[in-house]
Amino acid sequence: MGEFPERLAAVLDQRRKEGLYRHRLTLESSQGPIVCVNGRQYLNFCSNDYLGLAAHPRVVERFRSAAAQYGVGSGASHLVCGHSAPHHQLEEALAEFTGRARALLFSSGYMANAGILSSLLQRGDSVFEDRLNHASLLDGGLHSGARFQRFPHNDVSALEVKLESAQGPKMVVVDGVFSMDGDTAPLAALADLCTDHDAWLMVDDAHGFGVLGERGVGSTEAAGLAVSCVPVLMATLGKALGTAGAFVAGSELLIEGLIQQSRNYIYTTALPPAVAAASLEALSLVREEPWRREHLAQLIMRFRVGAQQLGLPLMTSTSAIQPLLIGDAALAVDLSNRLGEEGFLIGAIRPPTVPTGTSRLRITLSAAHSEEQVDQLLEQLAACWPVN
């Protein structure tokens, strides 16, 4: 068979035995509270479309009109001839919305995080990351060449000990909202600590941007932090805004430095201009319709109260991410499948995405959901419980 095929086959076989084999769903509809898979409709509780904007008529129409004007592809990287007016307008709008001097678009969150960290960090620097950071942050830190250290989840005291013994330039990197646990980073305490130790703080706000804060600016706004407290702010456009891509916002010096140095920015084709235009329209809806955040917050509270009354193993989260801790991977998959049979689409999250023994159902809520749909979910969870 050969070494590479044998190696791949062994990995796949082991994943099947451990209940960790993954399968893709093929949707036959747009994102929304109800989706179609294999000709059947499901109540969708596993999408990151937190504000229900992925199929919003205004966003869709803006995409169509921009595609008619600019085409469906950008044709080149930003530094060749792929940077179009919608890209520039979106960057300016994101900078203004987040209160930063400038913003820079990337094709994905993974590319943004890897590009930021590889550009800013050098050998001899120190980078400190929360143990539960997204894989893109961990990979970016590991591959940067800097001294890479993890600290226990949300443990400010443990981080302080590490910072005190570090020499040279230092960066602390965290998620604003942790994608698998749904809890938030103690940003105010982290910002104070970084100020005391002359360290830069970078926040990946993929799951907070558009959702948290009075205006929807995200985790940093919710924490009451000044712009100067978070020199590097990154967020994605494919979650609350419902489109695709990512951005980093910060000072003029930061953004210009990334434009000149980030290989992930320089050597990749720019996002389609129509996607940038659709993102701009989605950002307008975030500004104009605060009821979406308010309704989502009400649904989160409704779900948590109901789940607690049922005695379900809720993890600590006040975000749109509401994980139910199962533990065993096979049991999590079995429960996901049983819910699927009843018409509920909920993903089972297993290692290596989460630590061994912490497999879970990752339930996500959207402003597009109704109270009745959340109640239906609770009823079905009660019917499927306990897991055995």
Mean pLDDT of the region 194-219: 98
Same fold, 25-55+290-384 and 70-288: no
Contact at 8 Å (CB) between 49 and 366? yes
The CA distance from 190 to 194, in Å, is 6
The CA distance from 381 to 232, in Å, is 40
Q: What is the pLDDT of residue 288?
A: 98
Mean pLDDT of the region 136-156: 96
| Residue whose C-alpha is closest to residue 180's, from 369, 368, 361 | 361
Pairing of strands 170-175, 147-151: unpaired
The CA distance from 248 to 101, in Å, is 11
| Number of neighbouring beta carbons within 10 Å of residue 40 | 11
Mean pLDDT of the region 106-119: 97
Which strands sit side by side in the sheet containing 344-345, from one edge to the other?
34-37, 40-44, 344-345
pLDDT digits (tens, 9 = 90+) for 44-57: 999 999 999 999 99
pLDDT band at 159 (very low <50, low <70, confident <90, very high): very high
pLDDT digits (tens, 9 = 90+) for 296-355: 999 999 999 999 999 999 999 999 999 999 999 989 999 999 999 999 999 999 998 999
| Residue whose C-alpha is closest to residue 206's, from 192, 185, 227 | 185
**Is it the case that residue 162 has pLDDT exceeding 80?**
yes
Mean pLDDT of the region 112-140: 96
The CA distance from 95 to 15, in Å, is 43
Report CA-CA distances (Å) from 355 to 4, 92, 149, 349.
27, 39, 18, 10
Catalytic annotation present for 279: no
**Is it the case that residue 109 has pLDDT exceeding 60?**
yes
Beta-bridge mates of residue 41: 36
Q: What is the pLDDT of residue 22?
A: 87
Q: What is the pLDDT of residue 250?
A: 98
Contact at 8 Å (CB) between 203 and 233? yes
Mean pLDDT of the region 180-193: 97
Read off φ and ψ for residue 158, nearest 5 degrees: -65, -40
3-class DSSP state for residue 62? helix
**Is it the case that residue 388 has pLDDT exceeding 80?**
no
Catalytic residue among 78, 134, 170, 207: 207
3-class DSSP state for residue 128? strand
CATH class for the region spanning 70-288 = alpha beta
Q: What is the pLDDT of residue 387?
A: 60
Please name the residue that has the structure tokens 């509401």. Answer: 322
Contact at 8 Å (CB) between 351 and 368? no
Q: What is the pLDDT of residue 133?
A: 97
3-class DSSP state for residue 195? helix
**Is it the case that residue 284 has pLDDT exceeding 80?**
yes
Both structure tokens of 290: 């605060």
The CA distance from 331 to 92, in Å, is 47
Q: What is the pLDDT of residue 341?
A: 94
Mean pLDDT of the region 58-68: 98
Q: What is the pLDDT of residue 378?
A: 97
Catalytic residue among 78, 239, 295, 369: 239
Domain regions of the chain by residue span: 25-55+290-384, 70-288
Mean pLDDT of the region 100-113: 98
Catalytic residue among 74, 118, 119, 179: 179
3-class DSSP state for residue 337? helix
Catalytic annotation present for 219: no
Mean pLDDT of the region 286-293: 98
Q: What is the pLDDT of residue 322?
A: 97
Q: What is the pLDDT of residue 385?
A: 82
Reported in sequence order, the residue ranges of 265-305 that DSSP labels E, i.e. its strands, are none
Calculate the average pLDDT of the chain: 96
CATH code for the structural domain at 25-55+290-384:
3.90.1150.10
**Is it the case that residue 164 has pLDDT exceeding 60?**
yes
**Is it the case that residue 204 has pLDDT exceeding 90?**
yes
Catalytic annotation present for 87: no
